[in-house]
Amino acid sequence: MSTILLPTLKDTLQLGYLLGKHLSSGSTLLLTGNLGAGKTTLVQGIGQGLNISEPVVSPTFTLINEYLDGRLPLYHLDLYRLEPNQVDSIYPEIYWEGIEVEPGITVIEWSEHLAIRPSNYLEIELIAAPSQGRQATFQFWGKNTYDLKFILHFAQAALQKQIKPSQK
């Protein structure tokens, strides 16, 4: 488990950008965190990293948004309005299994509402940071096939940014 500081909106977008740039097909990200924690913002960054031309918008009302013109398909789900027993009816597994749809990256907001989970996924919890901005905590579940070296570099850069002002 590792935690990354995201002092500004730009950092949330940049983290998403790196995920979109580097994650491989079949990756599933389960996002958790309160209302306004920055989940959709992270997915907007992922859209940029995948080179998706359409703006990524919140699927709170549409439940699922599909973006097919980037490096890989992006399937963006938001389960906020659904109870676990209603989530089954939208068949979230077709996205992470990638059998009936072209395999891509599946990102699910309010993933706490899932009744079933993929066998292998990356969980990212976004919370308000004690000082300012947000922090993201990463946890792998399953076979741990996610290579996130690129995030370590980002985390070190973010940490240096944090340390700099107090050294002056």
Tell me which of ligand ATP, Mg ion, none is bound by residue 37, counting a contact when its beta carbon lies within the kind-specific cut-off of 5 to 8 angstroms.
Answer: ligand ATP
2 binds ligand ATP (CB under 6 A): no
CA distance 11 to 14: 5
Q: How far is the CB of 125 from ligand ATP (least distance, A)?
A: 11
Residue burial 45-68, b: 16+ Cβ < 10 Å; e: rest: bbbbbbebeeebebbeeebbbebe
- x/- mask, ligand ATP, residues 61-100, rule CB under 6 A, reads ----------------------------------------
Q: How far is the CB of 136 from ligand ATP (least distance, A)?
A: 9
134 binds Mg ion (CB under 5 A): no
Tell me which of ligand ATP, Mg ion, none is bound by residue 158, counting a contact when its beta carbon lies within the kind-specific cut-off of 5 to 8 angstroms.
Answer: none
- How far from chain centre, in Å, is Cα 147? 15
113 binds ligand ATP (CB under 6 A): no
Which region among 32-40, 89-97, 148-156, 158-166 touches ligand ATP (by CB under 6 A)? Answer: 32-40
Q: Which of 4, 39, 92, 158 binds Mg ion (CB under 5 A)?
A: 39
> Furthest-apart CA pair in the chain: how many Å?
56
Q: Are 13 and 41 in contact (CB under 8 A)?
A: yes
CA distance 140 to 123: 6
Helix (H, G, I), strand (E, B) or coil at 96: helix
Token reading at 112: 């706490």
Q: Contact positions toward ligand ATP, by CB under 6 A?
A: 6, 8-9, 11-12, 33, 35-41, 58, 60, 109, 133-134
